[in-house]
Amino acid sequence: MSKKSYSHPDISETAITSDLHVKGDIASDNDVWIDGHIEGGVSTHGIVTLGQNARVEGDITARIVRINGHVEGNVEAGESLTCHAAAVVQGDITTRDVRVDSGAVINGRLTTFTDEGQNTGEE
């Protein structure tokens, strides 16, 4: 048995590390951290976070989405979306509140909406 020390995610979080490759859809009620490769969609009522090594080939649906990796698919964040400097999104984004850091790349339509569901802007 290994005696190395490990830092563990919160018990309820799903964590896909950089050495893992997933095929199929991940549906969760909890937060999802991704730093690996996923060929499929990701949906949760919680937070989805993509690290620098993350590559998601599918749609992402969550309350809050934080991206610092690659996404080839549409992203829908009910509350907010943040694209950090290393983010690359090839797909449409729909969210209420968006923040895009310098260096992030978005190739797709960006749609924001209000609580009433009205579109407030597109790029």
Partner 1 sequence: MYYYIVNPNAGNGTFADIQHKLKSTLHGLGIDGEFAKTLQQKDARTITRSALQRGIKTIVVAGGDKTVNEVVAAVQESGKQSVSIGILPLGNHNTLASYLGITDWHHACHVLAARRLQSFNLIHINDHSFIHSCHIEPKSTSDTSQLLAEIDGSHKLRGEVAFSRVSNQKLHNVYLPNQLLLRLYPHQDRSSWWSRIFGSAGGVSSPAQLHARVAILEFSSEHTATIDGRTLHNTLFRIRLSETPLRLITARAEQPDLESETG
Question: What residue ranges bind partner 1 (CB under 8 A)?
Answer: 1-2, 4-9, 11-28, 30, 33, 35-36, 40, 49, 51-53, 68
Beta strands 119-122 and 110-113, pairing class: antiparallel
CB of 28 or CB of 111, closer to partner 1: 28
Q: How many angstroms separate the CA atoms of 47 and 29, rounded?
A: 10
Closest contact distance (angstroms) between CB of 91 and partner 1 is 20
Closest contact distance (angstroms) between CB of 80 and partner 1 is 17
CB of 54 or CB of 106, closer to partner 1: 54
CB of 41 or CB of 108, closer to partner 1: 41
Closest contact distance (angstroms) between CB of 109 and partner 1 is 26
Cα separation values, 104 from 26, 30, 82, 83, 87, Å: 25, 26, 10, 6, 5
Q: List beta partners, residue 65.
A: 48, 81
Question: Amino acid identity, residue 36?
Answer: G
